[in-house]
């Protein structure tokens, strides 16, 4: 509309009035999202006071017992707070610029109304990207909100309003999206919170019983000791189930999203498509150096944009490799029709030379010609 038109100020004022409530609502939502984190922080601060002051200083008579309890408590407390902090304040990783549509293709995509033509545009761009997963209908996964082609295992988080690499879930207790950049920190947060609660419950139990049976005289510490045991036991039970579930996910190399909805490859859904075996699945999250596994520092393998996959059933889009009877060529195992860039260092390390193919998922076709002794083997690699 022409700015000189008499009705232009009216439209502008109406637009501002519409944007203002939306902006205020967004700010309120962001503020309210911190309530669970503040609640956890207050509970932790109180537990520190109740254990250190009320239990160790005022209740436990033995000096040696006080020293041992305080030493173990502070180690678990520091590791718990450290991993919790890293989980909260580590920003989720997002797709890089190479997954954005080039300017010309983006203009064509926005002008085009037919979905099949839009898919053709996306497929042309995706030929240079390491993409192996599709939508349930077999289409290229594209986020209209972020306007990017989604890398494998990437999903859009409505709470964070962004696409998150290897998204697992959005956790309200950390007010953050758990994904590639902080998944190790989240696992360690569950680990150390479980250790923290278990240690408190175990060390408080005897004094809980003494206060409950009135073997200890009435004091202001009684309430704190009794309530501390109940809170620690309650959180321990709730955390244990979540901790066990995520350990199972790590062993299977699945995210929470993939556990409920199997990733779809070109040849169909495969819930174990990213599984490389238990040890390599663990290494993908915690890294190669076991010395750093229990420390909340980033050691996960890969870049978050592409992930090595195990061999699945034969894909007709994959090229056929002709090999001599000496064995499989490494390029045949790692090659892909859509992957024009070589595997990253982390992918090669994960796959390794001792990569084993599961018998129930291996499918080879051997063709022998009368004129030649060469063997043609068609295999498909998602890595």
What's the first-to-final CA gap in the chain, in angstroms?
52
Same domain? For 286 and 190 the reply is yes
Residue 247, both tokens: 């350990």
Closest by Cα among 229, 309, 221 to 262: 309
Residue 260 domain-assigned (yes or no):
yes
Strand order in the sheet with 366-368: 321-323, 375-377, 366-368
Q: Which of 171, 177, 197, 236 is catalytic?
A: 171
Last residue of a domain, one of 245, 261, 292: 292
| Catalytic annotation present for 171 | yes
Same domain? For 124 and 30 the reply is no
Same domain? For 58 and 139 the reply is no
Same domain? For 76 and 114 the reply is no
Residue 117 domain-assigned (yes or no):
yes
Same domain? For 67 and 181 the reply is yes
Domain around 136: 97-150
Same domain? For 77 and 179 the reply is yes
- Beta bridge partners of residue 170, listed in sequence order: 177
Same domain? For 135 and 254 the reply is no
Kindly report the pTM of this predicted structure.
0.77
CB 320 within 8 A of CB 378: yes
Same domain? For 41 and 123 the reply is no
Residue 381 domain-assigned (yes or no):
no
Residue 366 domain-assigned (yes or no):
no
Same domain? For 193 and 60 the reply is yes
Last residue of a domain, one of 228, 258, 292: 292
Residue 45 domain-assigned (yes or no):
yes
- Beta bridge partners of residue 269, listed in sequence order: 264
Domain count, the chain: 2
pLDDT by 10s per residue, the chain, length 383:
444 454 444 434 444 444 457 778 878 888 899 999 999 999 999 999 999 999 999 999 999 999 999 999 999 999 999 999 999 999 999 999 999 999 999 999 999 889 999 999 999 999 989 999 999 999 999 999 999 999 999 999 999 999 999 999 999 999 999 999 999 999 999 999 999 999 999 999 999 999 888 888 888 888 999 999 999 999 999 999 999 999 999 999 999 999 999 999 988 899 999 999 999 999 999 999 999 999 999 999 999 999 998 754 444 443 433 333 333 333 333 333 333 344 444 444 444 444 443 334 433 333 333 433 333 333 333 33
C-beta neighbour count of 61 within 10 angstroms: 6
Last residue of a domain, one of 258, 292, 326: 292
CB 185 within 8 A of CB 191: no
Residue 227 domain-assigned (yes or no):
yes
Same domain? For 207 and 267 the reply is yes
């Amino acid at each position: 509309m022409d700015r000189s038109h008499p009705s232009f100020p009216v439209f502008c004022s109406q637009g501002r009035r519409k944007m203002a409530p939306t902006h205020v609502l967004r700010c309120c939502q962001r503020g309210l999202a911190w309530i669970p984190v503040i609640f956890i922080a207050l509970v932790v601060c109180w537990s520190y006071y109740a254990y250190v002051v009320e239990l160790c200083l005022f209740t436990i008579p033995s000096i040696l017992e006080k020293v041992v309890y305080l030493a173990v408590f502070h180690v678990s407390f520091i590791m718990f707070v450290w991993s919790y902090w890293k989980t909260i304040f580590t920003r989720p990783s997002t797709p890089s610029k190479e997954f954005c549509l080039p300017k010309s293709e983006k203009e064509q995509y926005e002008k085009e109304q037919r979905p099949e033509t839009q898919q053709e545009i996306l497929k042309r761009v995706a030929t240079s990207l390491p993409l192996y997963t599709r939508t349930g209908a077999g289409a290229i996964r594209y986020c209209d909100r972020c306007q990017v082609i989604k890398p494998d295992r990437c999903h859009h988080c409505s709470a964070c309003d962004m696409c998150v690499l290897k998204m697992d879930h959005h956790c309200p207790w950390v007010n953050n999206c758990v994904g590639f950049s902080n998944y190790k920190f989240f696992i360690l947060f569950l680990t150390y919170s479980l250790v923290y609660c278990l240690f408190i419950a175990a060390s408080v139990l005897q004094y809980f019983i003494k206060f409950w049976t009135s073997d200890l005289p009435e004091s202001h510490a009684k309430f704190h000791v009794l309530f501390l045991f109940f809170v620690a036991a309650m959180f321990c039970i709730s955390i244990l189930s979540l901790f066990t579930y995520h350990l199972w996910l790590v062993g299977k190399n699945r995210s929470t999203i993939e556990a409920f909805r199997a990733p779809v490859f070109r040849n169909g859904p495969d819930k174990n498509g990213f599984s490389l075996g238990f040890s390599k699945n663990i290494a993908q999250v915690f890294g190669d150096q076991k010395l750093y596994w229990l420390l909340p520092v980033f050691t996960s393998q890969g870049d978050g944009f592409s992930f090595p996959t195990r061999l699945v059933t034969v894909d007709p889009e994959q090229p056929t490799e002709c090999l001599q009877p000496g064995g499989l060529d490494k390029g045949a195992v790692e090659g892909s029709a859509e992957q024009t860039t070589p595997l990253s260092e982390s992918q090669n390390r994960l796959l390794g030379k001792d990569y084993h193919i599961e018998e129930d998922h291996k499918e080879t076709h051997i063709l022998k010609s009368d004129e030649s002794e060469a063997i043609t083997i068609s295999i498909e690699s998602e890595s």
